[in-house]
Amino acid sequence: MIEGMDNRIYVDGGWQQAAGSDLIEVVNPATEAVIGTVAAGSAADIDTAVAAARAAAPQWASSSPEDRARILSGTADVLKARADEASALITAELGAPLSLSQRLHVGLPLSVLASYAELVMAYPFAEEVGNSVVWARPVGVVGAITPWNYPLHQIVTKVGAALAAGCTVVLKPAEDTPLIAYLLAEAFTEAGLPPGVVNVVSGRGPVAGQALVGHPDVDMVSFTGSTAVGRSIGAAAGGSLKRVALELGGKSANVILPGADVTKAVKVGVGNAYLNGGQTCSAWTRMLVHESAYDEAVALAAAAAEKYAPGDPLDPATRLGPMVNSKQRDRVRGYIEAGMAEGARLVTGSVDAPIDRGYYVAPTVFADVQPGMRIAQEEIFGPVLSILRYSDTDEALAIANGTDYGLAGGVWAATSEEASTFAAKMTTGQVDINGGAFNPRAPFGGFKSSGIGRELGRHGITEFVQYQSQQF
């Protein structure tokens, strides 16, 4: 089913025909060829899926942590056995270099599933507080709406945590990358997940997504995507007092303090900004450098950017694939034009297509960027890096905090203590200290317009529980 043309949805543990005949074409962004179709699910399909999730909810809510852990670890085992297939599928749908799909797009979700399988065994579902026992009960039926940029990882972070908490799920994956969601559904089935606990309905946001958010039998909506759509989902869910978890946009700062290893900070910073073609909500798209090291950092960034030449995602040497679709490509090019129009200095990059076929954008570096410019304030979601100058740490902090977003960031200093002291003043959800590695067990989420709630680790499970206290 995964490789062919189809008009089915995954409901109640199996495949069934969608209510309508409308289809969504899945396009390979590197070749612009249609690689498959999926159902454009309707409100009727969402009704069917939610009914299945509601019917399965009582039994799954009463399942033991051991049973949930077995399903989660079993799914990880199935997915690991199909890792090559999953990696190739993500590369075909998203355009990510195959090496990145193997290492990150599949490797990370495997780690996340394994972590939930362990954490659910130790989670405090019952806790004595004085003369009370406080129970963590599942929220109920969760509507999960996931993005295209990390299509498997973002599904696993939501669905894995919801299952660990005892919730059932209706998943609407992104229109551009729905096929990997169906592969995961097959993995859940093979691992023994009871029918109806996870259901998948592909579809368009204004139709299937809106129906899911507004459905009266959905108790919670977990969404990852743009801040604009997140606001509309929050408003719609508020009308029925649904709980929401919103992981939204970012404009993260990579702050290089005086005394830091500039060479390493710039190299890692460029890699972070260009990861996944720059299509990462937590990407460090603003590099803040003290005036004493500014010219050096700009030269280093330009040299590093040249190593990210766009290419065939199937070529092991490729580090930069295409944008996910033509609309995203045009959006990114529009920001490059805006940066030049506002007076930023184009160090490297271009609005011209670097490759004739495919939705490619040249890796771009801007210098002499002012904090108020659009390229320094708005989320671009492409391989565009803005380098800003500051004169002292107070100015650096003001620039770092001077956007509507607060998702991630990095700080580099002579010592980790100095970097941590600066990071503590940043209004952002997570900060890497001197290149600290991503931790899939630490909470991920943002401040301000970057969202509400947290994903991953124990905190991710907590998003999907509600508390009942019993007094004795």
- Contact at 8 Å (CB) between 462 and 163? no
Give Cβ neighbours of residue 117 (< 8 Å, ≥ 6 apart). 68, 69, 70, 72, 73, 76, 164
Provide block-wise average pLDDT over 10 residues at a time, the chain (472 residues): 71 95 96 96 98 98 98 98 98 98 98 98 97 98 98 98 98 98 96 98 97 97 96 93 96 98 98 98 98 98 97 96 98 98 97 94 98 98 98 98 98 98 98 97 97 97 98 97
For residue 159, give the 3-state DSSP assignment: helix
With 0-12 / 13-18 / 19 or more C-beta atoms within 10 angstroms meaning exposed / middle / buried, residue 35 is middle
Query: Given this model, what pLDDT does residue 243 score?
Result: 96
Q: Annotated active-site positions, please?
A: 247, 281
Query: Given this model, what pLDDT does residue 6 score?
Result: 82
C-alpha pair distances (Å), 179 with each of 12, 28, 298: 18, 12, 40
C-alpha pair distances (Å), 336 with each of 157, 333, 346, 350, 382: 32, 5, 9, 7, 10
Q: How many CA atoms lie within 13 A of 168 on its CB side?
A: 30
Query: Given this model, what pLDDT does residue 1 score?
Result: 45
Q: Is the Cα torsion angle 388, 390, 393, 397 positive or negative in sign?
A: negative
- Other Cβ atoms within 10 Å of 118 Cβ, number: 14
- Contact at 8 Å (CB) between 434 and 419? yes
- Contact at 8 Å (CB) between 289 and 389? yes
What domains can you pick out in the chain, each with its CATH number? Answer: 8-248+450-471 (3.40.605.10), 253-439 (3.40.309.10)
Residue 154 and residue 280: Cα distance in Å, rounded? 12
Query: Given this model, what pLDDT does residue 369 score?
Result: 98
For residue 86, give the 3-state DSSP assignment: helix
Give Cβ neighbours of residue 374 (< 8 Å, ≥ 6 apart). 335, 338, 339, 342
Query: Given this model, what pLDDT does residue 396 score?
Result: 98
